[in-house]
Amino acid sequence: MDKIEIVEGPIARLPAANVDTDIIYPARFLLITTRDGLGKLAFHDKQDAPDYAPMFAALAGGAPILVAGPNFGCGSSREQAVWALKEAGFKVVIAPSFGEIFQSNCAKNGVLAIRMDAAEGLSTPYGLENGQPLSVDLRAQTLTGPDGAVAPFVVSPALREALLNGWDDIARIKALHRADIEAFEARRRVAEPWLFPGDRP
Amino acid sequence: MNQASTPGSSVNGPATLYDKLWASHVVAHGEDGQTLLYIDRHLLHEVSTPQSFETLRRTGSPIWRPETHLAVADHAVPTRARGGAIADPQARAQVALLATNCAEFGLEHLALDGDRQGIVHVISPEQGFTLPGLTLVCGDSHTATHGAFGALAFGIGASECGVVMAVQSLWQTKAKTLRVTFKGALPRHVTAKDMALALIARIGSAGGVGYAIEYAGEAVRDLSMEGRMTLCNMTIEAGARVGLVAPDEKTFAYLQGRPRAPTGAAWDAAVAHWRTLPTDPEAVFDREIEIDAATIAPQVSYGVSPDQTLPVDGKVPSPDDLPAGPARDQLASALAYMGLKPGAKLTDIAIDTVFIGSCTNGRLEDLRAAAAIAATGKVAEGVTALVVPGSTAVKRQAEAEGLDKVFLGAGFQWRHAGCSLCVAMNDDRLPAGARCASTSNRNFEGRQGAGARTHLVSPAMAAAAALAGRLVDVRSL
Ligand code: SF4
């Protein structure tokens, strides 16, 4: 997984609520079986929508930070939504709330999803105009606006560490917890043997 | 945080169903309240897993326990005919890739042309692959469906599917608990679908974020297993990943004798264990909601988010009634997309398409309810009405009961099993401006085709709309 620590650049604003993963990545493109080349499909069906124009303009200007509305990424579990946003250039998404599966998909792909109430970050980031610069420091857990205003944010320590180090779940679980999983299975075989039909005589 | 408990142990003191399911799957505790959770079952479909298999290849990871996975193609499959090649080359390649991936990694794959094919969330309970007390995941947000059996079931992304295949476990954070109690009995013609929509309209599409929901109360106990699946299915539309119903005699009766259910002494032991799962009387939930089932009317969505829903005798709301701000803008933009005028009666809205199917409402009971209405008339002129069974088994059972004849006689199309117009990934796709009364779960913009408009309703309401050519109150028939 790509590491992430400091992200600086203009923000793209998308204040609408409930932007679902069908909007971020329309279902018909799910027939594609790779994870590369999806960036150009991000928000595909909104390319001519007036309320998405500022966001597209900021993205074209290299904005790495998306400042979104509440319940961003709700709906379908499609990870393509995150792959597309990431390839389009977004490394950080800030919103008052997220669809839960979307948020965990971000974590698996080196995209930092920051939950922040509009009130908490009144001047930074929600007071910023589309295209204004913002600096995100994951190690310090701070956002710094163009006027020097700083807003703290919080992500879970485990997520922070994983993103800072670019850790990969499979390798780490195997390295640290193989014995735990095997021990769990041994207990479970006794407690709920019907879940191990392969063991049946 | 739950640091003190032994991994895999049961909980001390009164516990909710969710607490018990969680506690019995703890492999290890992380440093900040995260839990490495053991995963008993994994369902795969063609859309969410190509990249997961790619990860396994790239990292050289074998499958930890191949027998715990079950794969089936549903999203991209055509529903007009079965057998022969799929016309769309991308869909053909994607469906074929699932089969070759499963063959390469030794996972069970249900053939598209076989008897056991269907939508993942419909076939898994049919096969007895879904059981109470287990953890079940799928790269699909409607995995909450399986919570109807008292299983801890939730949707995950493609990366997590790869993790589950490689190490049979996932890092998860425990949710807070929310109990939704439906008191009393449902009125006639009001269904589990209406319960789900009424709840979502009340708490909002983000109202359940961070919670695991347990559905309780007389109206829930009275639901069939099909109805409980419909209710749990739409939990994600309220923002929660997990929806649960405590297992009871109905649950056991449904499962006994299913192909993958335990048999003999193992069945008896399993049932004895499953009886210990329901929430203890003294257990405390983080949040409680009570809804009087008797007050629920048939529901219709009018907007582009499932919480934009009203009783069918309602009127399209007006943005002018809201204070200036995001909520007003959101409603105005939804109505613009939906082509609706504030103040219009919902029952005056003309529709041109009807879709009866999906993992929400594509089971036998749903088709029976729709057929009972279909039998009373003919599909209105200019309306295209599709019935797409949730599984091939449902299709066969419906045909054995003669439901196909009822639908065909009334002018409905009778299709093969798949997701179809729920997600419009196959060749069932609506043109811009089409307006559909749909038994599926999402009225998102573009969900049934770019620019197409969706009204979420129950199966009987959808069938009634097909006959009337407009949205109609099924209670008035
Ligand atoms: S029927 Fe619809 S919601 Fe259910 S699995 Fe298929 S696409 Fe997803």
User: At residue B4, does pLDDT exceed 70?
Assistant: no
CATH topology of domain A6-154: Aconitase; domain 4 (3.20.19)
Q: Where are the domains of chain A?
A: 6-154, 168-201
User: At residue B10, does pLDDT exceed 80?
Assistant: no
Mean pLDDT over residues B50-67, rounded?
95
User: At residue B400, does pLDDT exceed 80?
Assistant: yes
Q: What is the pLDDT of residues B289-315, one digit of tens each?
A: 999 999 999 999 999 999 999 999 999
Q: What is the pLDDT of residues B86-105, one digit of tens each?
A: 999 999 999 999 999 999 99
Mean pLDDT over residues B174-183, rounded?
98
What pLDDT does A200 receive?
42
3-state SS, residue A194: helix
Q: How confident is residue A198, by pLDDT bands cut at 50, 70 and 90? A: low
CB contact under 8 A, A180 and B28: yes
Question: Which chain B residues have a beta carbon less than 8 Å from that of A74?
Answer: 205-206, 239
What pLDDT does B386 receive?
98
| Portion of chain B with pLDDT greater than 70, in percent | 98
A121-125, A179-183, B339-343, B392-396: range with lowest mean pLDDT: A121-125
Q: How confident is residue B12, by pLDDT bands cut at 50, 70 and 90? A: confident
User: At residue B403, does pLDDT exceed 50?
Assistant: yes
CB contact under 8 A, B59 and A109: no
User: At residue B3, does pLDDT exceed 90?
Assistant: no
Mean pLDDT over residues B135-162, rounded?
97
Q: What is the pLDDT of residues A114-157, one digit of tens each?
A: 999 987 777 889 999 999 999 999 999 999 999 999 999 999 99
With a 6 Å cutoff on the Cβ, whether B119 touches ligand 1 is yes
| Portion of chain A with pLDDT greater than 90, in percent | 91
Q: How confident is residue B6, by pLDDT bands cut at 50, 70 and 90? A: very low
What pLDDT does B9 receive?
54
The closest CB to that of B239, out of A32, A74, A197, belongs to: A74
Mean pLDDT over residues B443-449, rounded?
96
CB contact under 8 A, A101 and B141: yes
Mean pLDDT over residues A160-178, rounded?
94
Mean pLDDT of chain B: 96
With a 6 Å cutoff on the Cβ, whether B441 touches ligand 1 is yes
What is the ipTM for the molecules in this complex? Answer: 0.94
Mean pLDDT of chain A: 94
Question: Which chain A residues have a beta carbon less than 8 Å from that of B36?
Answer: 173, 177, 180-181
Mean pLDDT over residues A25-51, rounded?
95
What pLDDT does B333 receive?
94
The closest CB to that of B61, out of A78, A170, A192, belongs to: A170
Q: How confident is residue A65, by pLDDT bands cut at 50, 70 and 90? A: very high
User: At residue A41, does pLDDT exceed 60?
Assistant: yes
What pLDDT does B2 receive?
38
Mean pLDDT over residues B247-259, rounded?
98
